[in-house]
Amino acid sequence: MSTPAEVAVLLRHVAPQVLGSLVRQHGDFDTCEDALQEALLSAAAQWPDFGVPRNPKGWLITVASRRRIELVRNESARRRREQITMASSPRYATAPADDTLTLLLLCCHPSLTPASQVALTLRAVGGFSTAEIARAFLVPEATMGQRISRAKQRIKEGGAEFRMPSSVERTERMPAVLRVLYLMFNEGYTASSGPVLCRIALTAEAIRLTRQLRERVPRDGEVAGLLALMLLTDARRPARTRTDGTLIPLAEQDRRLWDAHAIAEGVAVITETMASAPIGPYQLQAAIAAVHDEAARAEDTDWPQILGLYTLLHRIAPGPMVTLNRIVAFAMVHGPRAGLAQLSAAEADPALAGHYRVHAVRAHLLDQAGDREAAYASYRLAARRTLSVPEKRYLESRAAQLAPTLRSRPAMR
């Protein structure tokens, strides 16, 4: 028997493939997605007690297809379509091809707004719940549910076909596709909320889809850059947590546990790409990751080079997290007090003001500068603001390490 948690991981992994198969066979994205959601609920309720079927994907396709027929039956104008579907649907249908990449490109249809493209893809391809997507966009769950429903309806009304787009269409959709894959990987590598730090199924799926995309557009420098970034970042995953799930910061990780093969591949990809393609933000992030990964020890890290790369990244693709990461690199080169001054100025950006990562960076820099009391307060504040349980425990542990030094200080007279 499988536990509910194990079943949930399996369902998240196969759901995009099942949805791709359903849409390819039937064409109506909206109805297929609704039918799949009900099949997933049935699986989540039955499989922990009765066992996972030998062909879980086929089970889901069959149950979802039956549920879709029920949905179609409620519309008298589509009765003929229902009869055709019932006659042509084999028992335990299987998906001869992986349609996930085609599904991803469909979700990034140009008729949708960028926000809707990301939201729909995270739901259909990434397997995210509406609540998880709402947290990522900082909007109420009901609002996000309406946005996803409108996106599905717009695809339906636009008559978009479930097929691999032409090369011209792929070029138009590429920025949205890369953004979605990037967000999917980041959510898998550092979950925005919940009891675990990593969702391995999500990172693996993001890497797999990015590999497929690179096979189709091998000369696209940003696709290669994103793949290299994923490989170089995911290579550190074995050293990121202790056996109890506690987070280990980069500087304290046992680098012998890093995946040397992934690092070698990532370095080779980004080295080749930066020498032959126009420089873009994903390539710069991959180059930064390569500098980290190639340092045998934390103290060997080439921080001036990282600062230079972040400065260039900030120039061509500014953003709140780029700003924050550049401040960390700046502090490593010029000292914690200089970094704290830049951090105070950066908080004028509404996207950073009050963010838990700002408090975490401030705590680290204050600790480095010797202000233990202020560092303790910032670590505690950061721990209260994050929704990630592993990050919360890590921040609380850093505060706890400072507490004894504060108690041992003599009282002021």
What gap in Å lies between CA 115 and CA 108, rounded to an integer? 10
Note whether 33 and 124 are within 8 A (CB). yes
**399-402 contacts at long range (C-beta below 8 A, 24 or more positions apart):** 399/363, 402/367, 402/372, 402/375, 402/376
What pLDDT sits at residue 78?
46
Half-sphere exposure in the Cβ direction for 343 (13 Å, CA): 25
Note whether 60 and 20 are within 8 A (CB). no
Query: Which CATH fold topology does 320-406 show?
Result: 1.25.40
What is the distance of C-alpha 105 from the center of its chain?
A: 17
Note whether 203 and 230 are within 8 A (CB). yes
Enumerate residues 6+ apart whose C-beta is below 8 A from 237: 189, 198, 200, 203, 259
Residues of the chain with pLDDT under 70: 1, 73-98, 135-138, 191-194, 196, 405-413
What pLDDT sits at residue 337?
97
**314-319 contacts at long range (C-beta below 8 A, 24 or more positions apart):** 316/279, 316/280, 316/281, 316/284, 317/280, 317/281, 317/284
Global pTM value: 0.73
Any idea where the domains of the chain sit in the sequence?
1-96, 99-200, 218-301, 320-406
What pLDDT sits at residue 152?
87
Note whether 288 and 306 are within 8 A (CB). yes
**209 burial via Cβ count (<10 Å: 0-12, 13-18, 19+):** buried
Instruction: Classify 92 in phi/psi space as left (phi over 0), alpha (psi -120 to 50) or beta.
Output: left
- Closest CA relative to residue 16, chosen from 35, 1, 3, 33: 33
What gap in Å lies between CA 320 and CA 298, rounded to an integer? 25
What pLDDT sits at residue 212?
85
What pLDDT sits at residue 71?
76
Which 3-state string (H, E, C) describes the chain?
Answer: CCCHHHHHHHHHHHHHHHHHHHHHHHCCHHHHHHHHHHHHHHHHHHHHHHCCCCCHHHHHHHHHHHHHHHHHHCCHHHHHHHHHHHHHCCCCCCCCCCCHHHHHHHHCCCCCCHHHHHHHHHHHCCCCCHHHHHHHHCCCHHHHHHHHHHHHHHHHHCCCCCCCCCHHHHHHHHHHHHHHHHHHHHHHHCCCCECCCCCHHHHHHHHHHHHHHHHHCCCCHHHHHHHHHHHHHHCCHHHCECCCCCECCHHHCCHHHCCHHHHHHHHHHHHHHHCCCCCCHHHHHHHHHHHHHHCCCHHHCCHHHHHHHHHHHHHHCCCHHHHHHHHHHHHHHHCHHHHHHHHHHHCCCCCCCCCHHHHHHHHHHHHHHCCHHHHHHHHHHHHHHCCEHHHHHHHHHHHHHHHHHHHCCCCCC
